[in-house]
Amino acid sequence: MEYVISVLLSGISVGGQYALIAIGYTLVYGILRLINFAHGDVFMVAGLLGIYLTAVLPIPVSLPLVIVFTVLLGFTIERAAYRPLREAPRMSVMISAIGVSYLLQNTATYVTGGQPMTYPTIPFLSDTVNVAGTQTKWVVIITPILVLILVTILSMLINGTKIGMAMRAVSKDFETSRLMGIKINLVISVTFIIGSALAAVGSNLFFTNYPAITPMAGAMPGLKAFVAAVFGGIGSIPGAVLGAFLIGICETIIKGLPSSWDVSVFSDAFTFALLIVILVFKPQGLFGEAAADKV
Amino acid sequence: MSEDLLRISDLKVSYGGIEAVRGISFNVRQGEIVTLIGANGAGKSSTLRAISGLVKPAGGKVELEGEDITAKDSSVIVSKGLMMVPEGRKIFPNLSVLENLKIGAYLRNDDLTEDLEAVYGYFPRLKERSWQAGGTLSGGEQQMLAVGRALMGRPKVLMMDEPSLGLAPIVVQDIFEIIRRIHENGTTVLLIEQNANMALHVADRAYVIENGKISLEGTGKELLSNEKVQAAYLGAKG
Ligand SMILES: Nc1ncnc2c1ncn2[C@@H]1O[C@H](COP(=O)(O)OP(=O)(O)O)[C@@H](O)[C@H]1O
Ligand SMILES: [Mg+2]
């Protein structure tokens, strides 16, 4: 029983971390119809920033700075690599995103020398706590709460503020949004800023559970989060969050099955099998919209 | 000349070398309804889209109250007081009716209560449906929403691109009645129409566009009685 609880807890926690990345994918897709392949690598860079900044600054200063720098990175990527291609075919932007992804990975390799970098111990995240008789790290408890808080703030922003209304308008129709006086580029920048900030928070939580970061460390969580976003119906925030929790929990359960069954190595494959099955029955994902842009 | 609110001089629009608008000049004075009529593909929408900054003109000049606003960013043009009701209504289907109205006032930071009441006065049905998603409205209601949305920006010139397109005749009557009332209440209107009969009846002055050029101009009455106009635009429907 305690084992089951601890597996579930860590599944929820991993799911929450995926959710923070998945929101970035789904927001950007919702507005630009672009799969931002670089997003997982932005997440990795946030992890590295965490390592370098906590080495020189106290944690209350360095963690907020990680968010600030990650936001700057996301903002700059959009300005430099996506905005100039605004009128270009979507495929070109996609290729630009892949290019940025490799640029970030290669730069990380250059800076770290390709060595796995040890993620620092953040006391309030890695200290242990007793829950229902099992020992676990604080991060496992904090993650779902933090995700809930951040998602609530985000929905209030999107549904209750002027800029949120503009984001919803722009996601439907660039041209008519411009006729309202909305500055499209500003709205797109805001989208990247939000996505990057959430990825930065996610990276602090995620890497606390991992001994080290490599330049490839963003690829797998990024991919899982992307799958979560597709699974939930890409463009939908509740969909991405729900998808992320489902994937996190399923994956942790499979990893936690008795080792004599010998299935835990298949946990990643299972994630994708699950996605395929869902998409066969519900091609738009859980909360996705039916065919786009009907009048 | 100084009473020209909007002045268009020798405006040209081309798409990849193909000229859709080939040097159009016209003016709209304070308090007028001016209409541009013309067949499908004549270049009416391209003209409006160039004025509102959606496409860069290949040449010519757009002036509002004497200020050159040619090829400015749409948000600047809106902030100067030009609002457009686009062809096909283009309301935001995922926003509520109320939000669709509020977004028309996106660049304003003052109180919207009075303007909302005015719009609901023109279109009581929008008030009943203010919490409904815009996409759930009928075609006629969406057109009313699109007009209301533009009014929320308190335009100096309200530009409408074929507001009667695809609507039932009875709804078209309603729309034109509203245009008349909006105009009576002091809004200057630039109206683009294929429905020449309705447009010419409501307009102070009118221009006929053919193949990207203005072929005729005059008061609404003059054009209604013009033989060429009758033959080409009022024929069967007249
Ligand atoms: N985005 C575009 N790309 C290429 N050609 C266009 C585009 N928009 C309009 N055109 C062409 O320009 C001409 C004028 O179109 P338009 O201004 O929409 O006419 P109207 O509104 O009078 O029906 C047409 O021949 C049309 O095919
Ligand atoms: Mg047209």
C-alpha torsion A189→A191→A193→A199, nearest 10: -150
Instruction: Name the least confident of A102-111, B2-11, B73-82, B227-236.
Output: B227-236
Provide the pLDDT for residue A14: 94
pLDDT over 80 (residue A162):
yes
Task: For residue A241, name the pLDDT band (cuts at 50, 70, 90).
Answer: very high
**Pair B25, B214: CB distance under 8 Å:** yes
Q: Is B122 on the interface with A (CB under 8 A)?
A: no
Test the A interface: residue of B46, B69, B90, B141 with most A CBs within 10 Å: B90
| pLDDT-above-70 percentage for chain A | 98
Comparing C-alpha atoms, which of B6, B50, B2 is closest to residue B157?
A: B6
The residue-averaged pLDDT of A28-57 equals 95
Test the A interface: residue of B15, B92, B159 with most A CBs within 10 Å: B92
* Structural element, H or E, at residue B6: strand B4-15
The residue-averaged pLDDT of A285-294 equals 63
Cβ neighbourhood burial of A133 (10 Å; 0-12, 13-18, 19+): exposed
Q: What is the pLDDT of residues B163-190, one digit of tens each?
A: 999 999 999 999 999 999 999 999 999 9
Estimate the crossing angle of helix A39-56 against helix A2-32, to 10 degrees. Answer: 120
Nearest CA to ligand 1 atom 12: B20
Residue B16: left (phi > 0), alpha (psi -120 to 50), or beta?
left
More confident position, A273 or B123: B123
The residue-averaged pLDDT of B203-214 equals 96
The 3-state DSSP class for residue B173 equals helix
The 3-state DSSP class for residue B10 equals strand
Instruction: Name the least confident of A53-67, A191-205, B221-235.
Output: B221-235
Mutate to test the pocket of ligand 1, among B11, B14, B15 (most ligand atoms within 8 A of CB): B15
Residues of chain A contacting B, Cβ within 8 Å: 162, 165-166, 168-169, 171-173, 175-176, 178-183, 295
Provide the pLDDT for residue B189: 98
Provide the pLDDT for residue A229: 92
In ligand 1, which atom is closest to the CA atom of B209?
A: 22
pLDDT over 60 (residue A258):
yes
C-alpha to C-alpha distance for A229 and A29, rounded to whole angstroms: 10
Task: For residue A293, name the pLDDT band (cuts at 50, 70, 90).
Answer: very low
Please, what is the average pLDDT of chain B? 94
Cβ of B41 less than 6 Å from ligand 1: yes
Which residue in this structure is represented by tokens 């929101």? A23
Task: For residue B44, name the pLDDT band (cuts at 50, 70, 90).
Answer: very high
Nearest CA to ligand 1 atom 7: B15
C-alpha to C-alpha distance for B208 and B34, rounded to whole angstroms: 11
Nearest CA to ligand 1 atom 9: B46
In ligand 1, which atom is closest to the CA atom of B47?
A: 17
Yes or no, beta carbons of B75 and A182 under 8 Å apart: yes
> What is the bridge-based pairing of β-strands B205-210 and B82-85?
unpaired
C-alpha torsion A275→A280→A285→A287, nearest 10: -130
Yes or no, beta carbons of B95 and A180 under 8 Å apart: no
Q: How far is B226 from chain A (nearest CA, A)?
A: 35
In ligand 1, which atom is closest to the CA atom of B16?
A: 4
pLDDT over 90 (residue A173):
yes
DSSP string, B54-109: SS--SEEEEEETTEE-TT--HHHHHHHTEEEE-TT----TTSBHHHHHHHHTTT--
Cβ of B21 less than 6 Å from ligand 1: no
**Cβ atoms within 10 A of the Cβ of B31, count?**
14
Provide the pLDDT for residue A78: 98
Provide the pLDDT for residue A54: 94
Provide the pLDDT for residue A217: 94
CA of A9 to the centre of ligand 2 (A): 58
Q: What is the pLDDT of residues B8-29, one digit of tens each?
A: 999 999 999 899 999 999 999 9
Cβ neighbourhood burial of B228 (10 Å; 0-12, 13-18, 19+): exposed
**Pair A199, A181: CB distance under 8 Å:** no
Mutate to test the pocket of ligand 1, among B19, B46, B233 (most ligand atoms within 8 A of CB): B46
Provide the pLDDT for residue A290: 60
DSSP string, B113-132: HHHHHHHHHH-HHHHHTTTS
pLDDT over 50 (residue B237):
no
Q: What is the pLDDT of residues A75-126, one digit of tens each?
A: 999 999 999 999 999 999 999 999 999 999 999 999 999 899 999 888 888 8
> What is the bridge-based pairing of β-strands A128-131 and A134-137?
antiparallel
Considering only CB atoms, which chain A residues are within 8 Å of B83?
A: 179
Yes or no, beta carbons of B53 and A178 under 8 Å apart: yes
Residue type, A107: T
The 3-state DSSP class for residue B26 equals strand
CA of A105 to the centre of ligand 2 (A): 48
Q: What is the pLDDT of residues B111-136, one digit of tens each?
A: 999 999 999 999 999 999 999 999 99
pLDDT over 60 (residue A165):
yes
One CATH from 1.10.3470, 1.10.10, 2.60.120, 3.40.30 for A2-281: 1.10.3470
